[in-house]
Amino acid sequence: MSVIELRNLTKRYGDTVAVRDVSLTVEAGEIFGIIGPNGAGKTTTVEMAAGLRRPDGGTVRVLGLDPRTDGRDLRREVGMQLQEAALPDKIRVGEAMRLYASFYPRPADWRELLDVLGLGEKQNTAFAKLSGGQKQRLSIALALIGNPRVAFLDELTTGLDPAARRETWDLIESVRNRGVTVVLVSHFMEEVDRLCDRIAIIEGGRVLAVDSPAGLIGAATAEQRIRFVPETPLPAGFLSDEPGVTVDASGRAVVVTGAGDLLFTVVSALASAGIRPRELRMDQTTLDDAFLTLTGRALDEN
């Protein structure tokens, strides 16, 4: 079942087109990633999906509701963690949770939620006294306080140290395990690779590709490459009868390129020739490579 359906969404700010003709479908129970460089239109897209911004064109359906006409009903079912939305400095964690719980018809147990998020001890701590990671976790807690069916998490781990980032990732998985559909906006490739069932790559306000991480990598990879140093010289015509495989044995290290199950092909040919490979290395295509192939630039170049 589709939980979110975006059709031909367009949004302009003055002369700048922030989002052009974006169509996406998010299925129930998945963690859906939206990735792209800064200014790609990721946040605008999610804010339109959540009903915070009105699209100039196109339609939004979340849980079958149209944010334009059913905004209030929609906000009861949707939790949103906004980029750079803080709380007053002097509000205490428990007070904020109780306050936000009062906005929803059937809120979650806020004490339990704080415990799950590792903030159980911080109930009486003022917002300003929390660390960056704790503030983010409180922000997630507030996004989940209404027992939402869909959670939008925007740039959740930006500004967190690597340890806090990993903790947050575990947390997002546990949110999904509660049955919440998660839309995750990010510009960390590692993050979406690790968490997401499917990813949309957005650049310049357009969707360039939507697929699973493996699918994106696979589509971007025509060839794999294996390097090794043979202990004894290779026999003449090594792998020459394999279609689509080329062998470059001109240097100290041999480089084999090809598609398909290349590692198995190379290793079995070496085994039958009785040659041990040393320094064997396979160049693994990453999601970064896939992004580079699709957009023509690296994600961290912005």
Partner 1 sequence: MRPITALTVSEGRLFLRDGLSVSMGLLFPSLLLVVLGSALPGFREADPDMGGLRPIDVYVPIVVAMALANIAITTLPTHLATHRERGVLRRMATTPAGPGPLLGAQLIVNVIAMLVSVGIAITLGVTVLGVPLPESVFAFAGVLLLATLAMFAIGLLLSAVTPTAKAASGAGMLVYFPMLFFAGVWTPGPTMPETVRRIAEFTPLGAASQALSDAWSGASVAPLSLAVMAGYAIAISLLAARLFRWS
Q: Does 98 bind partner 1 (CB under 8 A)?
A: yes
In DSSP terms, which residues pair with 257 in a beta bridge? 225, 246
- Stretch in the footprint of partner 1 (CB under 8 A) among 60-68, 72-80, 207-215, 234-242: 72-80
At 160, the amino acid letter reads L
Should residue 175 be labelled a site residue for partner 1 when binding is judged by CB under 8 A? Answer: no
- Of 81-89, 165-173, 230-238, 286-294, the segment contacting partner 1 by CB under 8 A is 81-89
CB 60: neighbour CB atoms within 10 A?
Answer: 22
We find the least distance from the C-beta atom of residue 299 to partner 1, in angstroms, to be: 26
CA–CA distance, 55 with 19 (Å, rounded to integer): 9
**Half-sphere exposure (CA, 13 Å, Cβ side) for 9?**
30
Residue placing its CB nearer to partner 1 in the complex, 184 or 189: 184
Task: Please tell me what DSSP assigns to residue 169.
Answer: H
Q: What's the token pair of residue 272?
A: 């039958």
> Residue 74 CB, nearest distance to partner 1 (Å)?
9
In DSSP terms, 31 is beta-bridged to 182
Q: Hey, what's the torsion of the CAs at 117, 122, 127, 129, to 10 degrees? A: -120
Which 104-133 residues touch partner 1, going by CB under 8 A? 104-105
Alpha helices in 7-131 (DSSP H): 42-49, 67-77, 93-101, 110-116
Among 26-34, 58-66, 88-96, 162-170, the segment contacting partner 1 (CB under 8 A)? 88-96
Q: Smallest distance from the beta carbon of 242 to partner 1, in angstroms?
A: 57
* Backbone dihedral angles phi then psi of residue 239, each to the nearest 5 degrees: 65, 15
Quote the CA–CA distance of 112 and 114 in Å, as a whole number.
5
- For 160, the 3-state DSSP assignment is coil
Return the range that interacts with partner 1 (CB under 8 A); candidates 102-110, 198-206, 260-268, 283-291: 102-110
Interface with partner 1 includes 208 (CB under 8 A)? Answer: no
4 near partner 1, rule: CB under 8 A: no
**What's the token pair of residue 244?**
């689509």
Nearest alpha carbon to residue 4 among 256, 163, 139, 184:
184
Q: What is the DSSP letter of 15?
A: T
Nearest approach, Cβ of 41 to partner 1 (angstroms)?
Answer: 18
Nearer to partner 1, 75 or 165 (CB): 75
Under the binding rule (CB under 8 A), the answer on residue 183 touching partner 1 is no
Q: Helix count (H) and strand count (E) of the chain?
A: 10, 13
Residues 47-66 that bind partner 1 (CB under 8 A): 50, 52
Instruction: Determine, following the binding rule CB under 8 A, whether residue 18 of this chain makes contact with partner 1.
Output: no
13 vs 260, beta carbon nearer partner 1 = 13
One residue of 61, 75, 135, 187 binding partner 1 per CB under 8 A = 75
Query: Out of 6, 138, 142, 239, which residue is the one contacting partner 1 (CB under 8 A)?
Result: 142
- Of the candidates 180, 201, 159, which has an alpha carbon nearest to the alpha carbon of residue 293? 201
Pick from 23, 29, 66, 91 the residue near partner 1 by CB under 8 A. Answer: 91
User: Which of these segments, 101-109, 166-174, 218-226, 268-276, binds partner 1 (CB under 8 A)?
Assistant: 101-109
Residues making contact with partner 1 (CB under 8 A):
50, 52, 72, 75-76, 78-80, 82, 84-88, 90-91, 95, 98-100, 102-105, 142-143, 146
